[in-house]
Structure 1
């Protein structure tokens, strides 16, 4: 379990679109053959696949850069270039994909077998045959394919489980998991034996219940103390919490105070304290356990909490049948946890987007996310391509914006690394 990794940063890039071809039909005895430049192929997409057989993000520590295949350039004879192959990136079920810089949600891979297209490949450029008109029968330009951008993502794995076992270190969560399921977690009589979430499945009355043994929490866990943030994320998806206490106080702590402190940490991390709970009083075979159970129930009554309380012993295997029956009954009545968060999407196609005109002395610079892709689409050695470029600037409102900024005929306009004279 030392190789469990639940958060990584990766970079992804969809494939570039292939360039359109500029060519003319050549055939014996055929004069002035028309344009027959084929289109470039679209670039490959970047997709993520939720794989039920993966349980860690470890592989991404060794490979963190992913690029889909580029589209092939078009060719003469109206031959369209081959489309780039999609890149399928497998991640464990429960992986959340976010923008690295903003933290915005890109995708939540919470369903086994689900495939999500995150980045779309660049469109292939048009061959010159698309630009033929009755008055322009031999177009001398074609469009380049769209070049895509590199995006950086954060991958964060949140365990998919119905029930989460929470509590202080060494209260017996791992032992309980091993008793009620076939899981074999690492068990030892020292704090933080469990350093990764352990999953186990218990079949009860024909239905499977997935339990997650969440590593022990300590005071300040919600603020990142101990191993806090790394562990609390794994409780977010659970519908029900089994709050495990060392009811005998064998570690020298008061189980009633432990109960309050763990709930305080859960409350500080989102809305976890509002999640339904079953209080599991473990180590009931040790001295002082009965007295502490009475104190705990009185404390719950004072707080107005009607949490079910079950007294068990992982050492003697007593009390678990009733606990599991109650767990199954409560789960049947609880809906799945759904986090409503808007997902962002990406489009590397040439669109107006947002832009602004910045005056730098005598130069008017047009700055915007789509300008690089627009510049890449123009053949500046061809007059007809330049005319298309000027029409596009007018259509997008760039010409009007330059005029409003004070640009006059003949002034210098800079777009990316190209400079032009302003023409109405």
Structure 2
């Protein structure tokens, strides 16, 4: 049970161009000799680790990727042009395995890393290659070699930028359904999500982030109680945690502050680094609190929690406050993305002396 985004694709490098059989035909040159050129190599297929991508969703709809074949050789000593390479951009952390054998072939672990995942075929030889002192007019040529063809499985684990924390029935599934393309199971009774739900939140053109609805934690999760402990480790690579709290629980005997503190305690107990991650407080179900009591209840909650970070008041059901939350989260994630990108290398010739 992991955060996994996967896709299956077929790739084909370009075939090499065929060699050419040709002879010089020029006036006054009776024995012109062979001049058939070699074929060009086929295009290669590369995988590029792009820090600006965080899902494999593009490859779920585009499954076939082929590089161009090399051009055939020609007369007049002209070699065929090489086929164009293609570059498949994938998120950092993508694992590429053989779809048939399950063997791990490549791993994109470093931002900006580029790997050749399918090699183009070599071009064939033209007849000028076979010229010798005893073979003045060769008519031999060789065909281009086939490019590599592979069926691949792309797998991306722990791709979420943002993790939703909270007790069961805090409204995490409702929130992820309201702001993203995910459609998790939602009901009006207390239960915990059995599997993590991932959703891509679209903020604008080419602006998005991935949010994960982590199964609800309960007290003792760090020791293995409930399902939450199986997913705590996946939150270690998220960039932001949203602590979702039901500000208006159905049960009058439930104290939201006590529940929230229990979640924080589990994070700290499990991993100090996870506890130190940026964590924003999101008070959900404000639509169920009378308008004249809302401000007082929020202030009382924040005071008792001794919380000093950003606080958002939302209703995942009515989407009240969700737009403000989404914009703030995107700005934070985008800022972290930019800080993680490697600095651009400057050509020493253009550096100030």
Secondary structure of the equivalent of 1:256?
Answer: helix
TM-score between both structures, scaled by the size of structure 1: 0.50
Residue 60 of structure 2 is matched in structure 1 by 58
- Looking at structure 1, the residues matched to 25 and 72 of structure 2 have their Cα atoms a distance apart, in angstroms, of 19
Deviation at 1:322, TM superposition (A): 9.5
Pair 1:258 & 2:260 matched: no
Residues 41 and 159 (structure 1), Cα distance of their counterparts in 2 relative to 1, 3 Å cut: same
Q: CA RMSD in A?
A: 5.7
Pair 1:246 & 2:252 matched: no
- Looking at structure 1, the residues matched to 135 and 18 of structure 2 have their Cα atoms a distance apart, in angstroms, of 21
Residue 278 of structure 2 is matched in structure 1 by 276
Aligned 1:20-419 pairs, distance under 5 A: 20-25=19-24, 30-46=29-45, 55=57, 57-59=59-61, 63=63, 66-78=65-77, 80-81=79-80, 83-84=82-83, 94=91, 97-100=94-97, 101-102=103-104, 104-106=106-108, 119-130=118-129, 132=131, 142=141, 145-156=144-155, 164-168=163-167, 170-173=169-172, 186=183, 188-189=186-187, 192=193, 195-201=197-203, 212-218=210-216, 239-247=239-247, 250=250, 254-261=259-266, 267=271, 274-283=276-285, 296-297=305-306, 308=309, 310=311, 312-314=313-315, 334=336, 336=338, 338=340
Could you list the per-position Cα deviations for residues 345-367 of structure 1 after superposition, in whole angstroms to 9, with x for gaps in the alignment?
xxxxxxxxxxxxxxxxxxxxxxx
Deviation at 1:7, TM superposition (A): 0.4
Deviation at 1:177, TM superposition (A): 6.6
- Looking at structure 2, the residues matched to 242 and 281 of structure 1 have their Cα atoms a distance apart, in angstroms, of 10
- Looking at structure 1, the residues matched to 327 and 30 of structure 2 have their Cα atoms a distance apart, in angstroms, of 86
Secondary structure of the equivalent of 2:213?
Answer: coil
Q: Is the 8 A contact 2:198 2:212 kept in 1?
A: yes
User: If you compute each CA radius of gyration, which structure gives the higher value, 1 or 2?
Assistant: 1
Pair 1:15 & 2:14 matched: yes
The unaligned stretches of length 5 or more in structure 1 are 203-207, 298-305, 341-424
- Looking at structure 2, the residues matched to 39 and 80 of structure 1 have their Cα atoms a distance apart, in angstroms, of 5
Deviation at 1:8, TM superposition (A): 1.9
Residues 196 and 164 (structure 1), Cα distance of their counterparts in 2 relative to 1, 3 Å cut: closer
Residues 39 and 211 (structure 1), Cα distance of their counterparts in 2 relative to 1, 3 Å cut: closer
Residues 317 and 41 (structure 1), Cα distance of their counterparts in 2 relative to 1, 3 Å cut: closer
Deviation at 1:237, TM superposition (A): 7.2
- Looking at structure 2, the residues matched to 332 and 238 of structure 1 have their Cα atoms a distance apart, in angstroms, of 13
Q: Is the 8 A contact 1:245 1:259 kept in 2?
A: no
Q: Is the 8 A contact 1:41 1:123 kept in 2?
A: yes
Could you list the per-position Cα deviations for residues 280-304 of structure 1 after superposition, in whole angstroms to 9, with x for gaps in the alignment?
343466699888766644xxxxxxx
Residues 108 and 67 (structure 1), Cα distance of their counterparts in 2 relative to 1, 3 Å cut: farther
Deviation at 1:141, TM superposition (A): 5.3
- Looking at structure 1, the residues matched to 86 and 201 of structure 2 have their Cα atoms a distance apart, in angstroms, of 30
- Looking at structure 2, the residues matched to 20 and 241 of structure 1 have their Cα atoms a distance apart, in angstroms, of 60
Q: Which structure carries more relative contact order (alpha carbon 8 Å, separation 6+)? A: 2
Q: Is the 8 A contact 2:47 2:117 kept in 1?
A: yes
TM-score between both structures, scaled by the size of structure 2: 0.57
- Looking at structure 2, the residues matched to 196 and 331 of structure 1 have their Cα atoms a distance apart, in angstroms, of 16
